[in-house]
Structure 1
Amino acid sequence: MNKIEMLNKTTVKIDVVSDVVCPWCYIGKRRLEKAIEDLSDKYNFEITYHPFELNPSMPLEGANQKEYLTKKFGDQARYQQITKQVTDVAATEGLNFNFDKQLVSPNTRDAHRIIELARKEGKQLAVKEAFLKAYFTDGVDLSKQENLIKVGSSVGLDAEKIKTLLAGDEGLAEVELAEAEMQKLGVSGVPFYIIDSKYGISGAQPSDTFKQAIEEIGSKIAATGEACDVSGC
């Protein structure tokens, strides 16, 4: 695709609110990516991820994953039922979930700080994917700083920058502010998608639902898109 073709296409901005330990956020990511791929000949896309903590009060050292989720879901039978269901759904999207490898449910604030650092460096999508895969597929303990550094640097972030960030409070205020802003918008669960800063979609919808929404909103953007002339914009 040449530059003229890219300029002639409407750009659709999609803000995604999610957590790195949310299975439906990973499933929704794949479904959205499929919709984007199917519509890539018609639209350019600008994707930005925003933080959400499913359990902001989780201790920094994390908690035993199976015990935590069993208590959350009610009992062990329910835990087995839900994890199997979500694993089966993930498999239909080409994802390999391994709940048996996930020994620790982490506090995800530091992961979000790293994802925000990645956004500033133009590597957010790769880092977000790396954290989701590390947790759900590889069973990486994201409560440990050395693992956070390893995951972030595996896709191009500078390891020393991550170490410096984790050693202080860099990015913490930005994550807290972003979460507060999403709460003001009424986002109480994830994944949540905001298209063109106006239209909200809740949950890991099927790819066809994303496609329909993008095409409807994209046509509105194209019809009402702002333009500039010699007198201004």
Structure 2
Amino acid sequence: MNTPITMLNKPVIKIDVVSDVVCPWCYIGKRRLEKAMQQLSSEYTFEVEYHPFELNPEMPAQGTNHRAYLVDKFGSEDRYEQITNHTTQVAATEGLTFNFDKQHISPNTRKAHAIVQLAKLKGKDLTVIEDLFKAYFTEGTDLTSDKNLIALAIQAGLDREEVELLLSDEGSLKRIADMEKEMHKLGISGVPFYIINSKYGVSGAQTPETFVQVFKEVGKEVTSGEACDVDGKNC
């Protein structure tokens, strides 16, 4: 379990975040969620835990050409430009820099998720998540490369030998696949998805204001926001 963001002796709100590290709305949603938690930091203690979800679990280990993959997914070059420009503009309003032109490879993300789960045991998962998002969306880092993944893990404070063993262990990757199956059993088909206090679902990268409302009225569900769907054509 992660270290609570705020002081103790306040009501606890647990947030389970289901996301993929190559989902742009998951990164945008992360920033919006953080802003909402900051606004209410004097009222609640927040505990955040990330769970794996692959938008394309069939992606080959070596990945595929990023632009060609998304152009095919969206249906045209024009649609690709429209969607990536819109997403980049929205990200900028949250203080994030998206550089789609630097992304050359759409990766299989199972190894990245395995590193996040290892980091969770060390209390460093939120750092690793942030670093993976930034590496992919801002820096255009190739996340199919074990070398790059190991470097990001070490940067977050993980042990090189542990990470190398993890990435060579087929069992650890199978565990990620099993965890994802559990998410699907809950009916989750798109990300980001947030489970509040193990009971209430919030779909999509909601605004900070909406998250604040949800936290204050946990018993109410909210409408869906923009998200990346497995079979969708919007990101």
Q: Structure 2-normalised TM-score? A: 0.89
Letter in 1 for 2:63: G
What residue in structure 2 maps to residue 147 of structure 1?
A: 148
Aligned to 1:26: 27
Give distance in 2, aligned partners of 1:170 and 1:114.
13
Deviations 1:77-133 (A, max 9, x none): 110110000000000000000000000000000000000000111100000000000
- After TM superposition, list the pairs within 5 Å mapping 1:65-80 onto structure 2: 65-80=66-81
Q: Deviations over 1:143-178 (max 9, x none)?
A: 111011011111111121111111122422331221
Aligned residue in 1 for 2:85: 84
Aligned-residue offset at 1:180: 1.0
TM-score, with normalisation over the residues of structure 1?
Answer: 0.90
Task: State the identity as a percent.
Answer: 60
Once residues 63 and 173 of structure 1 are traced to their aligned partners in structure 2, the CA distance between those partners, rounded to angstroms, is: 22
| Distance across 2 between alignment mates of 1:213 and 1:30 | 16
Q: Give the RMSD, CA atoms, in angstroms.
A: 1.2
CA contact (8 A) 1:117 1:171 kept: no
Matching residue's letter, 2:100? F
Q: Which runs of 4+ in 1 moved over 4 A?
A: none
Q: Secondary structure, in 3 states, of the residue corresponding to 1:46? A: strand
> In the aligned structure 2, how far is the partner of 1:16 from the partner of 1:102?
24
CA distance in structure 2 between the aligned counterparts of 1:178 and 1:193, rounded to whole angstroms = 16
Q: Which has the larger radius of gyration?
A: 1
Tell me the amino acid that sits aligned with residue 8 of structure 1.
N
User: Which residues of structure 1 form unaligned runs of 5+?
Assistant: 219-233
Matched residue type, 2:23: C
- Quote the residue 1:135 is aligned against: 136
8 Å Cα contact 1:17/1:49 also seen in 2? yes
1:1-233 to 2 correspondences below 5 Å: 6-217=7-218
Q: How many matched pairs?
A: 214
Question: 1:8 aligns to what SS in structure 2?
Answer: coil
State the distance in 2 between where 1:48 and 1:32 align. 13
| Partner amino acid, structure 2, of 1:92 | T
Does the residue aligned with 2:50 lie in a helix, a strand or coil?
strand
Structure 2 CA distance for aligned equivalents of residues 206 and 214 of structure 1: 13
For structure 2, which runs of at least 5 residues remain unmatched after alignment? 1-5, 220-235
